[in-house]
Amino acid sequence: MKTSAKLLSLLIAVPIMIAGCGTKAPAPANPSGGGDASKPQDKKVVKIGISQIVEHPSLNATREGFLAALKDNGFIDKETMQVDYKNAQGDATTNLTIGQKFAADKKDLVFAIATPSAQAVVQNVKDAPVLFGGVSDPVSAKLVKSLDKPGGNVTGAADTHPDAIPKLIDFIAADFPKVKKIGIVANEGEANVAFMVKTAEAAFAKHNIQVVKASVANGSEVKQAAESLVVRVYAIYITHDNAVVS
């Protein structure tokens, strides 16, 4: 067995858009709308909350893309919208507190980035539209009832196509035939990670590749977990795990 592991990561994630929720999202004020032009027009300042579980380039890009889309649709920061961005820095208690605060603040719209953030927001925000991004399996995470009919006030985009993981593992089996034992470092306490690990295990089993898992609860445990696998496996498979990739 090799003494060092090759890092294999899921490189392609095809977003799956989910049908819109029933709650109507707020619209920006229209300064050119009807009415007496001589009278000042009242502008509705939309209160938008953004909850993000941890700092990471892909999650940051999701947030930046959301803000860019708002700007493209006529929302102006501090004029027609007020953005309240909170980052839990990977802390579960802080993450839950953010969801509770957004509910208490009566935000007009909340955008949650990554599964833990989305779960905390959905648990608390009931009277405003909730959008999510960076979520692998919104159904298993109990964010929506189904991809076609999410129901309630929640909608968003899934970041993993159902065929992505099996096809990647087909590629690994075909192009790396010596890989007979593979390691996975994962925090299966996250619903999206548990889903991806389960999917990967089933796909590896079809190719008679044994999976050895090393569990972590947060990012500080990843290095030790990975080192424990290096001398035991031929390669390490990395999922979209916030604790691992951060």
What percent of the chain clears pLDDT 70, i.e. is strictly above it?
82
What mean pLDDT value characterizes the chain? 84
The reply to whether 174 and 74 lie within a common domain is: no
Whether residue 153 is found in the same domain as residue 167: no
Residue 134 lies in a domain: yes
Which tens digit of pLDDT belongs to each residue from 179-195? 999 999 998 888 778 88
Q: Are residues 72 and 139 in the same domain?
A: yes
Q: How confident is the model at residue 151 (pLDDT cuts 50, 70, 90)?
A: confident
75 and 130 fall within a common domain: yes
Where residue 175 sits, what CATH number does that domain have? Answer: 3.40.50.2300
Most confident of 75-79, 99-103, 229-233: 99-103
Who has greater pLDDT, 16 or 169? 169
- Residue 100 included in any domain: yes
Between CA 200 and CA 179 the distance in angstroms is 15
pLDDT above 90 covers a percentage of the chain that reads 60
Res. 226 pLDDT band, cuts 50 70 90: very high
50, 152: one domain = yes
pLDDT band at 198 (very low <50, low <70, confident <90, very high): very high
Whether 27 is covered by a domain: the verdict is no
Domain boundary among 130, 158, 186: 158
> Can you give the pLDDT at residue 137?
85
- Provide the domain limits for residue 82: 44-158
pLDDT for 208 equals 96
Residues 149 and 166 in one domain: no
Q: Assess whether pLDDT exceeds 90 at residue 61.
A: yes
Which of 125, 158, 191 is the endpoint of a domain?
158
SS3 124: helix
In a domain? residue 23: no
Alpha carbons 102 and 80: distance in angstroms, whole number: 19
pLDDT for the residue 244:
80
Packing angle of the helix pair 92-104, 115-124 (nearest 10 deg): 40
Q: Evaluate if residue 118 carries a pLDDT over 90.
A: yes
Q: Structurally, how many domains does the chain consist of? A: 2
Instruction: Render pLDDT for 7-58 as a digit per residue (tens, 0 to 9).
Output: 233 222 334 444 555 555 566 655 444 555 444 456 789 999 999 999 988 8
Domain identity same for 150 and 201 = no
Looking at the fold, whether 77 and 140 belong to one and the same domain comes out as yes
The token duo for 37 is 């032009």
Tokens at residue 173, please? Answer: 């089996």
Same domain as 178, residue 154: no
Write the CA distances from 13 to 136, 158, 221, integer angstroms.
9, 9, 26
Say whether both 69 and 117 belong to one domain: yes
